[in-house]
Amino acid sequence: MKITKILSLSACVMLILILGACGGKNDYGLVEVEKEKEIVSLLDSKETKGVHYVYFGRPTCPECKIFQPKLEEVLDSKKIKVLYYNTDTFKESGMFFKTVSMFNVSSVPSLVRIENGKVQKVLLYEKDKSKIDSFMD
Other C-beta atoms closer than 10 Å to the C-beta of 39 total: 21
Please state the pTM of the whole predicted model: 0.80
Classify 124 as helix, strand or coil.
strand
Residue extents of the structural domains in the chain: 26-135
Confidence band, pLDDT 50/70/90 cuts, at residue 25: low
Which tens digits make up the pLDDT trace of 37-79? 999 999 987 888 999 999 999 999 999 999 999 999 999 999 9
The predicted model gives 13-34 an average pLDDT of: 65
- Cα–Cα distance between 114 and 53 in angstroms, integer? 6
Q: What share of the chain has pLDDT > 90, as a percent? A: 77
Amino acid 93: pLDDT: 93
Tell me 25's DSSP state.
P
- Chain-centroid distance of CA 97 in Å reads 21
* Superfamily (CATH) of domain 26-135: Glutaredoxin (3.40.30.10)
- Torsion over CA of 104, 107, 111 and 114, rounded to 10 degrees? 10
Distance of CA 91 to the CA centre of its chain: 19
